[in-house]
Structure 1
Amino acid sequence: MVARIALIMRVFDEPGARFRLDDIATRTGLPRSTVHRILDQLLVTGWIQRRPEGYSLSAGASTARHSPAEHPELRSVAAPVLNRLHLDTGLVVHLGVLLGTDVLVLDRIAGRAAAGNAGTASRVGGRVPAHATALGKAILAQLPGEEIDTLFRPGLPKRSPRTIDDLPTLHQELGRIRARRGLAYENQELVLGTAAIAAAVRADGLLAAISVGGAVPLEKLERLGPLMLRAAAHVTQRLSGLDEVTEPVRPQSDGVLGRLLRTLPADGWV
């Protein structure tokens, strides 16, 4: 259900995009009746609007789903952890949330290893493909396989010669991440000559992660695994309001999509 809504919302990624019902069904590969039911729910809850020429995002939804300002608590809680990681490693540190098949970068701290590697460190508010980044893969590993299949039905675009570009390979990679307790690696998959390590933040319905990377060998980053797991667990603990870090419930959506889902009646989910 979450993946179907995310798939439909992703159709409206281009600013000012407007589509008819049949266009949305074709682009998502979902049954026309399913698309119609979801669109009706999104209309009622104010996430999209309908005009004679087609459906489009409402002004509020368009702004919220693309803005780091949508996640003030996550950014506030994670800030000291990101700073500590940066001071300890001198590398590029990121915080991001899942947005469709991309990661929305909420925060970034650049270090000495970032010089000349702008491709590694996306700007705050920018987006990077989830399947080609450690940030994204750490998040995707928290989702069930069927949601991965639905999200990436349109395909996995290559960003470098080493980008994963087929679903079977992506599923294998996500399985390895789960076996590593959620640690994800990126080895020249977004930009050649760069690598990153990430761990997922799991609390209050979030699909988020933190990462460290730069123009360094992956072998060096692998040694940071315990540090990354502790950092992610600390953010999870603070967000959950727990005194001790416990095994969290699997997250269901990113912040905007989570808020969207909470506006839909439970019996209307499809």
Structure 2
Amino acid sequence: MRTASWTDSVSVLDRVTAVFDAFGEDDEGLGVSELARRANLPKSTVSRIAADLVAQRFLDRDGELLYLGVRLFELGQTVPEPRRLRRLALPVMRELRDVTAQTVQLAVLDGAHLVVVAVLRVPSAVETSTRVGGRDPAHATALGKSILAFSPPETVTRFASGGLTRQTPHTIGEPAALLRELADVRRRGVATEHEECTVGVAAAAGALLVAGEAPSAAIGVTGPVDVLFPDRVAPAVRAAAVTLSRLLAADRAR
């Protein structure tokens, strides 16, 4: 817990970090007052920091609400407008959360890593390391595997040849094994994960597929291995991915 004495002694960088950390539990926009409360900083300080971060595109402003900004998630050609993607996704994420009673994630591919851009939790969810801005090796996550499964073959070959680091004893470490797994994901339409990224955590995810485009984002659910059974939630995850893919395609068409 950050105390009053902490606010008097920390550097500017610490204060900026505190502002970013305030978004970890809420991806639907925060006002300056709420940001100040969560960061345990004076409202005037947060207001000044937020203005500078908006100017540099590290935060986005929509009326009185502030969002994690586009610049934090600029990933080349992956997702040109992360905030728009998050807004399109939120209703679908809420429905998936309510149906599965599990934490829902939205993530984009950044090179060999998956970056989480939105998280919706259930009140009763067991806390995990899932957070907005979190990065994990794509081959160790259901989200990443769901995207890689539908990526161009040359992309997958290049990815696999770059070396597959092991996050846990269950992480896929051999390129041939990864290719077999991706083929299975293409067949089922959903990728699953069982303690491959974090011990004790399971997940299921589906890529967002738009005709004529390589996939760059995915939606999925995650939770404790003794609570979340990927095969059981796979139909709901698949339906959510299809729905969000259609919304994204329609938005692009406009």
TM-score tier (shorter): 0.5 to 0.7
Report the alpha carbon displacement of residue 91 of structure 1 after superposing the two structures with TM.
1.0
Q: Is the 8 A contact 1:94 1:105 kept in 2?
A: yes
Residue-pair matches, total? 179
Evaluate the alpha carbon distance shift between residue 62 and residue 234 of structure 1 in structure 2; reply closer, same or farther with a 3 A threshold. Answer: closer
Aligned to 1:188: 195
Q: Residue 237 of structure 2 aligns to a residue in which SS?
A: helix
Which one has more relative contact order, counting CA pairs under 8 Å at least 6 apart? 1
Aligned to 2:182: 174
Aligned to 1:73: 84
Alignment of 1:114-263 (within 5 A): 114-118=125-129, 121=130, 123-180=131-188, 182-203=189-210, 205=213, 206-217=215-226, 220-241=229-250
Evaluate the alpha carbon distance shift between residue 113 and residue 141 of structure 1 in structure 2; reply closer, same or farther with a 3 A threshold. Answer: farther
Report the alpha carbon displacement of residue 97 of structure 1 after superposing the two structures with TM.
1.0
Give me the CA root mean square deviation. Answer: 2.6
Evaluate the alpha carbon distance shift between residue 201 and residue 216 of structure 1 in structure 2; reply closer, same or farther with a 3 A threshold. Answer: same
- Unaligned segments of structure 1, at least 5 residues: 1-59, 243-270
- Unaligned segments of structure 2, at least 5 residues: 1-69
What are the superposed Cα offsets for residues 108-149 of structure 1, whole Å, 9 maximum, x if unpaired?
11225642422xx2x212211110000000000002333212
What are the superposed Cα offsets for residues 156-189 of structure 1, whole Å, 9 maximum, x if unpaired?
1100000001100000000111111x21000110
Farther off after superposition, 109-118 or 153-162: 109-118
Report the alpha carbon displacement of residue 153 of structure 1 after superposing the two structures with TM.
2.4
Q: Residue 147 of structure 1 aligns to a residue in which SS?
A: helix
Report the alpha carbon displacement of residue 74 of structure 1 after superposing the two structures with TM.
1.3
Query: Structure 1 vs Structure 2: percent identity of aligned residues?
Result: 36
Amino acid of the structure 1 residue aligned with 2:223? G
Evaluate the alpha carbon distance shift between residue 116 and residue 72 of structure 1 in structure 2; reply closer, same or farther with a 3 A threshold. Answer: closer
